[in-house]
């Protein structure tokens, strides 16, 4: 009976020995910035483990594995499920397989997944990024062909140029929020809240801009990437601010939390509180009352992102897809 050979050293092994994150190892070995002490620890760990980082550069330039990697925060979220469907549909037409990874909107988990993809020489990635711009800049410099979907990341200084060249497929959140707020203010609402989760800085910025002089920062609340945290954020807002008359949920998980919190706190929608939710998931229309939504073309976002990562030649820097306000019964004039 044959015995298995020794396990190959991975980038994660180097990170553990050096006492740093996978993103830091990737950054150091691809020539990115790091303190002298950190760089020395990483290089010393790589030497002790006899780690050969070919996949961090040379391997990607010389050979490419087939397929596309897709990184999303949550595969159970309706929006990201439809985004995945769009990617799969496009990749199928190119006869390319898709590997899906779930980041949980956690930067370390995302970096670990990217490190693993580098190890496998998979150089085409579609990502809904967490916001760690430095890690993504290092990955791009290492030779990854990256397309951002739904949101993009930035990094100051020396990393800005690498990220500026990464294509992104986004929805027009600014226009969607402006239309929603115009609708609510037209109904007489002035105290309008916003429920957000980590990674939604672009959407929060668009809300603040659309609110203008009506903005009350205390009505902008944040949740972590879990249903329990979303519920706690919504319930806390409803209990803390009795003057709140309308709220916009930044995603369908947050909308679900708002509906549940309102029901348990005996807040009547729309009599006591008007509610608008980002994303038109199937249950929104079946809710009682049916929810007014800012609909996003999630499947189209995925399809266009896959087209960009699979396309050869010149690509647009940003593709912006329209949103649509679908008015149902969850909003009413301020009483």
pLDDT digits (tens, 9 = 90+) for 129-170: 987 788 888 888 777 899 999 998 876 665 566 677 889 999
Average pLDDT over residues 90-115: 90
Rounded Cα–Cα distance for residues 320 and 48 (Å): 47
Tokens of 334: 């301020």
| Residue 274 located in a structural domain | yes
Phi, psi (deg, nearest 5) at residue 277: -125, 140
Question: Do 18 and 56 reside in the same domain of the chain?
Answer: yes
Same domain assignment for residues 99 and 212: no
Any idea of the CA torsion for 38, 39, 43, 44, to the nearest 10 degrees?
Answer: -40
User: 3-state class of 85 per DSSP?
Assistant: helix
pLDDT > 70? residue 70:
yes
272-331 confidence digits (pLDDT tens): 999 999 999 999 999 999 999 999 999 999 999 999 999 876 778 889 999 999 999 999
> What is the average per-residue pLDDT within 33-53?
77
**Which of 150, 166, 182 is the endpoint of a domain?**
166
Contact indicator for 319, 170 with CB cutoff of 8 Å? yes
pLDDT at 157: 61
Q: How many domains does the chain have?
A: 2
If asked whether residues 194 and 143 sit together in one domain, one would say no
220 in a domain, yes or no? yes
Whether residues 184 and 160 share a domain: the answer is no
Round the average pLDDT of the chain to a whole number and report it. Answer: 87
pTM over 0.95? The answer is no
């Amino acid at each position: 009976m044959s015995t298995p050979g020794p396990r190959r050293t991975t980038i994660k092994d180097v990170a553990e020995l050096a006492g740093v994150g996978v993103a830091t190892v990737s950054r150091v070995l691809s020539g990115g910035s790091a303190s002298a002490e950190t760089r020395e620890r990483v290089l010393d760990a790589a030497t002790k483990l006899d780690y050969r980082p070919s996949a961090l550069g040379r391997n990607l330039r010389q050979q490419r594995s087939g397929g596309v990697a897709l990184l999303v925060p949550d595969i159970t979220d309706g929006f990201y499920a439809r985004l995945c469907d769009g990617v799969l549909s496009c990749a199928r037409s190119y006869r390319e397989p898709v590997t899906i990874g779930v980041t949980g909107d956690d930067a370390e988990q995302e970096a670990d997944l990217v490190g693993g993809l580098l190890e496998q020489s998979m150089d085409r990635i579609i990502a809904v990024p967490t916001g760690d711009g430095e890690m993504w800049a290092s990955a791009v410099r290492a030779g990854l062909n990256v397309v951002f979907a739904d949101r993009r990341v930035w990094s100051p200084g020396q990393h800005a140029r690498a990220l500026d060249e990464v294509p992104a497929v986004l929805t027009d959140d600014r226009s969607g929020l402006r239309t929603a707020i115009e609708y609510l203010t037209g109904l007489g609402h002035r105290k309008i809240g916003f429920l957000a989760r980590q990674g939604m800085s672009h959407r929060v910025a668009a809300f603040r801009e659309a609110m203008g002089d009506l903005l009350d920062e205390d009505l902008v609340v944040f949740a972590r990437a879990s249903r329990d945290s979303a519920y706690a954020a919504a319930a806390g807002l409803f209990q803390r601010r009795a003057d709140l008359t309308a709220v916009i949920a930044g995603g369908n998980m947050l909308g679900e939390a708002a509906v549940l919190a309102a029901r348990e706190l005996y807040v009547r929608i729309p009599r006591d509180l008007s509610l608008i939710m980002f994303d038109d998931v199937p249950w929104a229309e079946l809710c009682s009352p049916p929810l007014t939504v800012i609909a996003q073309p999630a499947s189209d976002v995925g399809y266009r992102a896959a087209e960009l990562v699979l396309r050869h030649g010149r690509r647009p820097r940003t593709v912006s897809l329209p949103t649509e306000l679908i008015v149902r019964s969850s909003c009413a004039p301020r009483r």
